[in-house]
A and B are shown apart, each in its own frame.
Chain A
Amino acid sequence: MRMIVFIRQVTDPENTIITGADRKCINDDHTNWIINPFDEYALEEAFCIREAYGGKITVVGAGPPRISSVLRTALAMGADEGILVLDDTLAPWDSVSRAQALAACIQPADFDLVFIGQRSIDGEIESVGQRLAHYLKVPCLSHAVAAEIVPDRRTVRIHRRIDGQEMVVESVWPAVVSVEKGLKEVRSFSISGLNKARQKRIEEKMRGDLDAESAAVAKRNQHIRLRELSRIFDQRKLRKIAGDTPEEQAAELFRVLRDQEKIL
Chain B
Amino acid sequence: MLVVAIIRPGRSNSINAEAVALGRKLSRDFGLTLTVLAIGYHIEKEAADLALYGPEDIFVADRPVFEHFNEEHYCRAVLAFSRKNRPGMILLGGSVSGNALAARLAAVLEAPLIQNGVAFSVENDCLLVDKHLYSGRICARFAFPEVFPRIATVRPRSMAARPRGEHRTGKIVNVDIDMDTASAQTTVAAAGKHVAASFDLAEAEKIVAGGRGLKGPENFKMIEALAEAINGKVGASRFAVDAGWRSQTEQIGQTGKTVSPALYVACGISGAAQHLAGIHSARVIVAINTDPLAPIFKMADYGVVGDLFEIVPALTREIKSGRTA
Contacts and interface: CB of A to CB of B under 8 A. Distances in A.
B97 A250 contact: no
B106 A228 contact: no
B96 A122 contact: no
Interface in B6-39: 8, 11
B248 interface: yes
B71 A142 contact: yes
Interface in A234-249: 234, 236-241, 246-247, 249
A139 B185 contact: yes
B143 A224 contact: yes
Interface stretch (B57-65, B80-88, B214-222, B254-262): B254-262
B199 A164 contact: yes
A93 B70 CA distance: 25
A162 interface: yes
Interface string A241-264: 100001101110110111001011
Interface stretch (A1-9, A67-75, A123-131, A202-210): A123-131
B113 A127 contact: yes
A167 B116 CA distance: 23
A221 B143 CA distance: 13
A249 B290 CA distance: 13
A17 B115 contact: no
Contact of B311 (A19, A121, A168, A246): A246
A249 B308 CA distance: 11
A142 B145 CA distance: 26
Which of A92, A226, A241 counts the most B-chain CB atoms under 10 A from its CB?
A: A241
A168 B303 contact: no
Contacts of B303: 238-241
Contact of A126 (B11, B103, B254, B277): B103
B314 A250 contact: yes
B163 interface: no
B304 A224 contact: no
B15 to A, nearest CB: 9
B114 interface: yes
What class of interface size applies to chain A in its complex with B? 35 or more
A220 B306 CA distance: 58
Nearest to A137: B185
Interface in A72-92: 92
B189 interface: yes
B248 A134 contact: no
A227 interface: yes
Nearest to B301: A236
Contacts of B134: 11, 13, 17, 26, 121-122, 124
Q: Which 5 A-B pairs have the closest CB atoms?
A: A164-B198, A250-B314, A246-B310, A166-B192, A127-B103
A131 to B, nearest CB: 4
B248 A232 contact: no
A166 B191 contact: yes
Given A165-B69, A224-B142, 20 more contacts: A99-B107, A126-B115, A130-B71, A143-B100, A161-B96, A163-B11, A163-B69, A164-B198, A164-B199, A165-B191, A165-B192, A181-B248, A218-B110, A224-B143, A234-B298, A241-B302, A241-B303, A253-B318, A254-B322, A257-B284
Interface in A142-164: 142-143, 145, 157, 161-164
A238 B147 CA distance: 45
A224 B112 contact: yes
Contacts of B186: 139-141, 169-171
Interface of B: 8, 11, 68-72, 95-97, 99-100, 102-104, 106-108, 110-116, 128, 131-145, 147, 185-192, 194-195, 198-200, 206, 230, 248-249, 251, 254-256, 262-263, 273-274, 277, 280, 283-286, 297-307, 310-311, 314-315, 317-319, 322
A162 B142 contact: no
A38 to B, nearest CB: 7
Contact of A167 (B68, B200, B283): B68
A162 B133 contact: no
Contacts of A236: 285, 299-301
A225 B143 contact: yes
B110 to A, nearest CB: 5
Contacts of B194: 165
Given A223-B145, A254-B315, A131 B107 contact: yes
Interface string A83-119: 0000000001101100100000000000000000000
A239 B301 contact: yes
B107 A134 contact: yes
Nearest to B144: A224
Contacts of A63: none
A42 interface: no
A35 interface: no
Given A95-B113, A127-B113, A250 B318 contact: yes
Contact of B107 (A19, A125, A127, A168): A127
